[in-house]
Structure 1
Amino acid sequence: MKSFSGQAAVVGIGATEFSKDSGRSEWRLAAECVNLALQDAGLTPNDVDGMVLFTMENNPEIAVARALGIPELKFFSRIPHGGGAAAAPLQQAAIAIATGVAEVVVVYRAFNERSGHRFGSGPPPFAYVTTTDQEYRNWINPYGLLTPAQQEAMFARRYMWQYGATSEDFGRVSVLSRKHAATNPKAWFYERPITLDDHQNSAMIADPLRLLDCCQESDGGQAIVVTSVERARDLVPNPAVIVAAAQGIGPQQISMSSYSRRDIVSMPEVELVARQLWQQAGITPNDVDAAILYDAFTPMVLLQLEEYGFCGRGEAADFIREGNLELDGRLPVNTHGGQLGEAYIHGVNGVAEGVRLIRGTSVNQPNKRVENVLVTGGTAVPHSALVLRTDGIS
């Protein structure tokens, strides 16, 4: 079976500013970020023949193609499950390119998630439509689990009970993200670091999750351009090669609320993705030099460290306390500030930071050589992730 591993690379990244009130339509945000990503790649709209989006994207490919003057699209697809899809569009783009279906594929996510519909305000309008996709809400809404924070608080509390983790352990993730955001001029929380005391004194949102355990609500757009490795070498000096990309759904999977599993603080869908990534890339967790871990809520960073094999079950709190996630640590994490510190663009801005780490242009570039970067999508939902690598690394 032919593998798509190492056949495609990211050559362009582009983003609007990240704000709380963009003052313009989501359609315009989408067009702006795609145009910037194409400029970064040294390409034009005429070069684009494919697009991959989230099903939650409100700006369809036909609208953005019209706005930018893209003449024709040979390939387009959509990935469901919200933030769990953050890396999956890159997988689809890489497969399309490796099989010759498309030559230049654009991925974008654009929304006014702060000035428009706020995810933290409760179920969106489509949640009240009686479809199979939404049937799980019948089992959680009556108990007051209406928002993502309320749903993920269940996992967090169980993890604390099972492994002895504390709110301070979650807080260290938040402090680190804000530390990195404070030196990132594009981050919403630029020059605004926090302390662990700030975290502990922040408002309780859904016990045990505090305000500073929860990601932002942001307006903005982020786009990624993918093409073949051969073409990439002619376009940019340091293409980020997609050497692995995977999706996963685990047993008894329910969106945000897989509470019927024997162990609700294990995430078999993440372990499934990890297994595929290491096999495709031909590496182990020890070979990963930096990671962008989806941080919609701080406890999920701890669970990912364990599911991806960077530490054992229940050991993530100690792994973080030992400084392993710092820039000079074993595994620098969320060097852009993450969704906690930079912006919440459904994880696609995390893919862009993974590319910058490969290029060596992150504002918080680790001192060591970065060859393999892990980028993950949302957790507690069907999951996706990818591994980016510097060109020429066997």
Structure 2
Amino acid sequence: MLYKGNIELSTKKISAIVSFLMLLSVALGIFLGSWFVNAHNGSVAFAGVVFDTLYPSPEAILNKKATNIVNRMNYREKLGQMVMIGVQGTEVNSVDEQMLSQYHIGNIILFDRNIKSWEQTTKLVADLQKVAREKGGQPVPLLVAIDEEGGRVVRGKDVIEPPPAQKSIGETNNPANAEELARKTGKNLQALGINVNFAPVADVAYNVSRDFSGDYDKATSFVKAAARGYSSVQEIFTLKHFPGIGRGTVDSHKDVSSIDVSLEELRQTDLKPFQAVIDENKNHNFFIMISHLKYPQLDKDNTASQSYNIMTNLLRHDMGFNGLVITDDMAMGAVSKYGSFNHTGVNAVKAGADIVLICHEHSHQVEIYNGLVAAYEAGELDKNKIDASVRRIVKAKLRLNTLIQ
């Protein structure tokens, strides 16, 4: 027994010594790294690298997972992740299966035509996810979106309890009401499997029911509150319609409206709600939807959804947004009247869109996807930027904690 006890004691001593030496080596590495940095004018953050390697942050782990998933995708699968389409019926059909498998479409938007009952809608969403996983081989779940703003812009109001119009919420003068209604709406959508809401509207206008207020500061406080409500229940929200369409005079469904205002004025007015939410939400786990209006002092030739200066220079670089950028529906007259779907989708991606939205006609959806594929194969699309967009999409899906195994 004494012999056995000595062995056990020796083993414990050895373990203790090994643990001590490991801790000592880490401490020494950090000390030497810090000394090296100080000795070399801070040119290399060696200590930080050592620490991050040993103790990676949740965000670093998420980035690594997303990168590994994207690296395993071929370019057709990546481009499919960059398109969001509408489906036609209340159950999955052969066309839907083709879009999710052959075209690798990674995102769906629902309309009234898809929503007849709670059980039916839940099954539709679950079946779409199953097809994407099992027949499409998609490694991450679909983003399933809806326009549940409130007031006159709601879907499936006989099934989903519709929130009131944003204007009526603003008239309460209590942003907490916007937060609570967003939380309630988000929970309802989550229960159906809908993980993205295209709300709140961040535009500012007088006498428009879709906007919280005609006062820029008041609208900003309500938009921020709604964003907090959705975030609290992990529903991905969407600020729309960047860079603000409150001044528009023409319905984008029909044609282009031009807003002739300087960037300096926009910063003090229409951009305030967008910038406030960007600044308040550090991980930027939300969408910003880009309008089809023209802002000639920002880009004299292109609508916002086709403009590099607006999407990339302004939104990404100047305002610091690192989340998901999605276009408004590309079938709207403001875009579709002035170019083919093959080209407008490509232009949107070149300008900085992560996801191209095409809601209704199957033929238009195919044109958008095939246009992207052709442009990629011709070398017109920057492969690194495509990978960056798909990583953002995959990260958003991983954050939902519903990763398809």
Structure with more relative contact order (C-alpha pairs < 8 Å, separation 6 or more): 1
| TM-score (normalised: structure 2) | 0.31
| TM-score (normalised: structure 1) | 0.32
Higher helix share: 2
